[in-house]
Amino acid sequence: MDLRLTPAEAAFRDRLRSWLDATLPTLPPKPDRDDWPARRAYDTAWQRLLFDAGYAGVDWPSGHGGLGASPTEQLIFLEETAKARAPYVGANFVGLLHAGPTLIVEGTEEQRAAHLKGILRGDEVWCQGFSEPDAGSDLASLRTVAVREGEEYVINGRKVWTSHAEVADYCELLVRTDPDAPRHKGITWLILPMDAPGVTVRPLRTAVGSSEFSELILDDVRVPVANRVGAENDGWRVAMVTFSFERGTAFISDVVESRNLLAETVATARATPAPGGGTLWDDGALRRDVGVLAAEVSGLWSLIRKNVSEASAGMIPVQGASVFKLKFTENRQRIGDLAAHVLGRASLAMSGPGGHVVEDRVNTLAFTIAAGTSQIQKNILAERVLGLPKEPRWT
C-alpha cells in the first residue's frame, strides 16, 4: 500500500481537522470514571456525532454502513482523533472493534441487519464474555455450557473480566456446546442479549480502582439458535477472527498515545533538575532509552499500516496481529517504567500533576495479560506462523 497522501486523502485530513476543531469544544465534561450510566451516555453521544458527520466505521465497508475509506484514510482518522485528544470509543469498544467486524465476516444477513447500524450509531453497546474464572488465558478450557433445546440454547456458567457489562445491550459469548469434543472443537459463538432472564452482572475493581470489568453469572439463560454466529461447535475459529481484529487493529489509538506519553516524558526530563546540575535530559542513558523506545513505536506504526491494509482488503491480520499485540504491550510497559523513573518520588502516587502517567503505568500491567497473554502470543507465532512443534500439554 502507498501511504503518500493523494489530493483526496489530504482533503480528507483537512475536513476532519476542521470538524474536530469545531466539534470538540462543544462537548460536555467527561463524567466520573465509575459513573457508568453517564459514561455510556457520553460515549454513545460521541459515537452519534461521528455517525451524523460521516466518520463512524471509517474502515467498515460502505455496504454495511461504514465509510468504506481507504487504509490511508483510516490511519488519518485514527491519528488525527488521537492527536486532538478526541474521546476514545469507550463503552463502544467491543461493538465497534470486535463484534461488528466479526459479524461482517461471519454473521448472517439477518444478524448484520439487526446490529451493525445500531453499533455504528451508538445505539448498541456490547461486552465480551470470553474469559472465565477457572480458565485464565487458556480460553479452550472454558466451562460455560449451552444445551440446545429445540430452537434455543440454555446457558449456564460464569464469565469474568467482562468489559462494560454494566451498561451493555449485547454480549459476544463463547459457550461449550459439545463437552465430549476436543477442547477447541466443541465451542460456539453466540449473541447474548444482556436483558435476558438469568443474566446477573457483578462489577469488579481494577488495580487503579475503576470498574470497567464485571463478573457475569448465567443461570438457565435462553438464547435463540438464530443468535449463533458461525456453525455450532465452530466458535473457536470465529473467536480467532474476533481476536485477530482485537490484536491487530484495536490498539491503534494506543500507539498514538504511546507517542504522546514518550514526548511528555522527554518534556518532563528536560524540565527536571538533575542532582549534579543540569537536567535529567543530560543523562545519555536516558536519551538512549528514549531513542530505542521511539524507534520501536515507529516500527509498530509500520506494522499497523500492514494490519490495517490487510483488514481493509478483507483479510484477517493473524500474523501481524499477534506480533503487534506482543511487541506493543511490552513497549508500552517499558515507556511506563521510563516515565516512572523520570517522575521519581512522584511516581508513588496517582495524585498530583503526574498522576495520569502513574495511573497509565498501572493500567499497562494488564496489557500483557488482556486479549491473550504474551505467552499465548508467542505460542501462536511459534506453532501457527513458524510451524514449530507444539508446546507439551500437561494434563
Answer yes or no: are the C-beta atoms of 111 and 191 closer than 8 Å.
yes
Residue 373, C-beta contacts closer than 8 angstroms, at least 6 positions apart: 137
Which of the residues 246, 257, 310, 330 is marked catalytic? Answer: 246
Sign (positive or negative) of CA dihedral 349, 373, 303, 249: negative
Q: Are 381 and 258 part of one and the same domain? A: yes
Answer yes or no: are the C-beta atoms of 366 and 329 closer than 8 Å.
no
Question: For 331-382, what is each residue's pLDDT tens digit?
Answer: 999 999 999 999 888 888 777 777 888 888 888 877 777 767 778 788 878 8
Q: Are 73 and 165 part of one and the same domain? A: no
For residue 318, give the CATH number of its domain: 1.20.140.10
Q: Are 258 and 379 part of one and the same domain? A: yes
- The rounded radius of gyration (Å) of the Cα atoms in the chain is 22
Q: Are 258 and 211 part of one and the same domain? A: no
Q: Are 49 and 130 part of one and the same domain? A: no
Q: Are 83 and 170 part of one and the same domain? A: no
Query: How far is CA 95 from each of CA 51, 120, 127, 170, rounded to the nearest angstrom?
Result: 14, 8, 7, 9
Q: Which residue has the cell 459457550?
A: 175
Query: How far is CA 165 from each of CA 6, 123, 189, 282, rounded to the nearest angstrom?
Result: 42, 15, 17, 47
For strands 199-203 and 170-176, give the pairing: unpaired
Q: Are 216 and 179 part of one and the same domain? A: yes
Residue 336 in grid coordinates: 511506563
Q: Are 169 and 259 part of one and the same domain? A: no
Catalytic site residue 246?
yes
Average pLDDT of the segment spanning 96-100: 89
Note the residue count of the chain. 395
Question: For 119-151, what is each residue's pLDDT tens digit?
Answer: 999 999 999 998 898 776 677 889 999 999 999
Residue 242 within a domain: no
Residue 95 within a domain: no
Residue 162 within a domain: yes
Q: Are 179 and 287 part of one and the same domain? A: no
Average pLDDT of the segment spanning 34-50: 92
Is 267 a residue whose pLDDT tops 90? Answer: yes
Question: Helix or strand or coil: residue 218?
Answer: strand
Q: Give me the helices (H) in the chain, please.
A: 7-23, 36-53, 71-83, 93-94, 100-106, 109-121, 235-249, 252-271, 284-312, 318-343, 355-364, 374-380
Residue 250 is predicted with a pLDDT of: 58
Per the model's pLDDT, the better-predicted residue between 359 and 112 turns out to be 112
Residue 105 within a domain: no
Per the model's pLDDT, the better-predicted residue between 309 and 239 turns out to be 239
Question: For 185-201, what is each residue's pLDDT tens digit?
Answer: 899 999 999 999 999 99
Q: Are 263 and 362 part of one and the same domain? A: yes
- For the chain, the domain total comes to 3
Is 109 a residue whose pLDDT tops 70? Answer: yes
Residue 306 within a domain: yes
DSSP-assigned letters across all residues of 340-354: HHHHGGGGG-SSSTT
Residue 310 is predicted with a pLDDT of: 67
Q: Are 222 and 306 part of one and the same domain? A: no
| Helix 36-53 and helix 7-23, axial crossing angle in degrees, nearest 10 | 140
Range of the domain at 376: 248-386
Q: Are 259 and 368 part of one and the same domain? A: yes
Dihedrals phi, psi of 351, to nearest 5 degrees: -90, 165
Compute the mean pLDDT over every residue in the chain, rounded to the nearest whole number: 86
User: Among the listed ranges 79-88, 119-128, 217-226, 302-311, which one has the minimum average pLDDT value?
Assistant: 302-311
306, with CB counted inside 10 A (0-12, 13-18, 19+), is middle
Is 4 a residue whose pLDDT tops 70? Answer: no
What percentage of the chain reaches a pLDDT higher than 70? Answer: 91
Question: For 79-96, what is each residue's pLDDT tens digit?
Answer: 888 888 898 888 888 998
Residue 41 within a domain: yes
Average pLDDT of the segment spanning 224-246: 86
pTM: 0.78
Residue 113 within a domain: no
The DSSP secondary-structure symbol of 390 reads P
Residue 182 is predicted with a pLDDT of: 83
Residue 61 within a domain: yes
